Amino acid sequence: MSAVVERAATALPLLNVAQPERVFAWREGRPISVARFLADVDAVAAMLPPASFAVNLCEDRYPFLVGFCAVASRGQTNLLPPSRAPAAIDEVLAGHSGSYALGDAHREGLSMHYVHLRLDDDTPRTDIAVPDIDGEQIVAVGFTSGSTGQPKANPKTWSAVRASSAHNTHILATALGLGGDEIAHIVATVPPQHMYGLELSILLPLLGPFAVHGGRPFFPADVAAALAEVPAPRMLVTTPIHLQALLRDPVKLPPLAAITSATAPLCAELAAEAETRYGAPIIELFGSTETCVIAHRRTAHEGAWRLYPGIALRPQPDGTLVDAPYFSQPVVLQDVVELLPDHAFHLRGRNADLVEIAGKRASLSDLTHRVLALPGVIDAVVLQLEEEDSAGVRRIAALVVAPNRSESELMDGLRRSIDPVFLPRRLRCVEALPRNETGKLARAVVLAALKV
């Protein structure tokens, strides 16, 4: 079904594949059928309070899936905070009065009504029909990470996420070589509250030939263990920071059919190293909380991004205008692109990434790469400060992870590769960068770390 047709539809099914005995998810090493999943959704939906919004705090991916679908089937909207930290939750609640929360763990100190999801192991009924969801219902509100400022809310209708997910399904099913009734099994290191995690580990099982592992493994040994709990073909949904940690560890992973990466740029060298070690293609996905995934590439073999069908890009003075048949209105991204033939493009940086000092221009990402190129540097971030100095200039600062290097040694190295006007006026060595669970760095957190 085309995206345009889906936007016009009034009711669309919650689940595309409804064979009762088909494996839908894996939890604690055991398969969960479609029938069991529908029974769990039905039971949880019956216990939800009347409200418009629910903050989904589930850590285990299967209860998250059940809660997400139960909320949607009640005509309510899932709020997906950028983290489960109390401050982030309170900020989301402040903009959505009358909300309640649901989660899979006991929580103290929450200011709103809380539903503790307890899923039993009773034999499910098999006569539960797949619920229909109004196509224009807002099923989720995702929030930007705050890497360039305050998190912003982005509502998603059911018809829009279905249309977007159809593109993901086609690209990944093709990469995996799926045919007939074959399904692939997903293990994801990213949280389901993040838009990438939602698209790849929640919507794919609902709308495509995929089953998902309920856990969210973090350490390499945990990733290997989770992959061993599901059958082939296996797909790992991860990020560059997690992929780098896997490659540094000697742990052996079960055979993989494909790996996806998003949330931060993946360099070609890292992609090639991972493809060689794991014998699987790495599909890098390009998108945002505002747009969902809109393009893909096999980074080890190509530099250009290939747009999904129907997506249109138009360069603007402040970034790039993105449109799709399932968008309610075009979206402006800060990314600067160079359009290429055959519905492709090169990414040339972000509008907010460019800085100008004393008539000279530089890219914060290029400055960060120069810091990372110094011997002994493991991780780093460079940004422009908010406040102006006595000359009215907003100077550059850096946080660096370099266990065996001093700050003065690092500055000496930078003087040989960076124009003096772009040298960090404040460079601080730390044990680890304050990255969130998807590897991103919130600007406010980085600024706070620089002031410590």
Residue ranges per domain, the chain? 3-349, 358-451
| Per-residue pLDDT tens digits for 183-233 | 999 999 999 999 999 999 999 999 999 999 999 998 999 999 999 999 999
Predicted confidence (pLDDT) at residue 149 exceeds the cutoff of 70? no
When mean pLDDT is compared over 83-87, 154-158, 372-376, the highest value belongs to 154-158
Q: Is 418 helix (H, G, I), strand (E, B) or coil?
A: coil
Domain 3-349 carries which CATH code?
A: 3.40.50.12780
Instruction: Show Cβ contacts of residue 293 under 8 Å, excluding neighbours closer than 6 positions.
Output: 164, 167, 168, 196, 199, 262, 285, 286, 287, 308
Predicted confidence (pLDDT) at residue 170 exceeds the cutoff of 80? yes
Predicted confidence (pLDDT) at residue 126 exceeds the cutoff of 80? no
Task: Give Cα 227 to chain centroid, integer Å.
Answer: 20
Task: Give Cα 270 to chain centroid, integer Å.
Answer: 19
Predicted confidence (pLDDT) at residue 146 exceeds the cutoff of 70? no
Q: Which is more confident, 93 or 431?
A: 431
Nearest alpha carbon to residue 121 among 36, 59, 44:
36
| Per-residue pLDDT tens digits for 355-386 | 878 667 788 888 888 898 899 998 899 999 88
Contact present, 259 and 278 (Cβ < 8 Å):
yes
Contact present, 437 and 83 (Cβ < 8 Å):
yes
Predicted confidence (pLDDT) at residue 6 exceeds the cutoff of 80? no
> What is the dihedral angle through the alpha carbons of 432, 64, 115, 142, rounded to the nearest 10 degrees?
70
Predicted confidence (pLDDT) at residue 347 exceeds the cutoff of 50? yes
Task: State the residue for tokens 């939890």.
Answer: 27
Q: In 11-87, at which residue ranges do the beta strands (DSSP E only) sit?
A: 11-13, 23-27, 30-33, 53-56, 77-80
Predicted confidence (pLDDT) at residue 157 exceeds the cutoff of 50? yes
> In whole angstroms, what is the distance from residue 375 CA to residue 217 CA?
31
pLDDT at 145 (0 to 100): 63
> In whole angstroms, what is the distance from residue 384 CA to residue 352 CA?
10
Predicted confidence (pLDDT) at residue 4 exceeds the cutoff of 50? no
Give mean pLDDT, residues 403-427: 91
pLDDT at 111 (0 to 100): 59
* DSSP assignments along 281-350, one per residue: -EEEEEEETTTEEEEEE-TTT-SSEEEPTT-EEEEETTEEEEE-TT-SS-EEESEEEEEETTTEEEEEEE
> In whole angstroms, what is the distance from residue 381 CA to residue 401 CA?
9
**Which pTM was predicted?**
0.82
> In whole angstroms, what is the distance from residue 402 CA to residue 411 CA?
12
pLDDT at 123 (0 to 100): 60
Average pLDDT, the chain: 89
Per-residue tokens: 433: 């960068």
Fold of 358-451: GMP Synthetase; Chain A, domain 3 (3.30.300)
Q: Is 398 helix (H, G, I), strand (E, B) or coil?
A: strand
Predicted confidence (pLDDT) at residue 51 exceeds the cutoff of 60? yes
Nearest alpha carbon to residue 355 among 407, 400, 267, 419:
419
| Per-residue pLDDT tens digits for 256-266 | 999 999 988 89
> In whole angstroms, what is the distance from residue 383 CA to residue 401 CA?
15
Predicted confidence (pLDDT) at residue 167 exceeds the cutoff of 70? yes
pLDDT at 7 (0 to 100): 44
Give mean pLDDT, residues 256-283: 95
| % of the chain exceeding 90 in pLDDT | 61
Q: Is 243 helix (H, G, I), strand (E, B) or coil?
A: helix
Q: Which is more confident, 153 or 26?
A: 26
| Per-residue pLDDT tens digits for 382-398 | 999 888 887 778 889 99
> In whole angstroms, what is the distance from residue 59 CA to residue 47 CA?
20
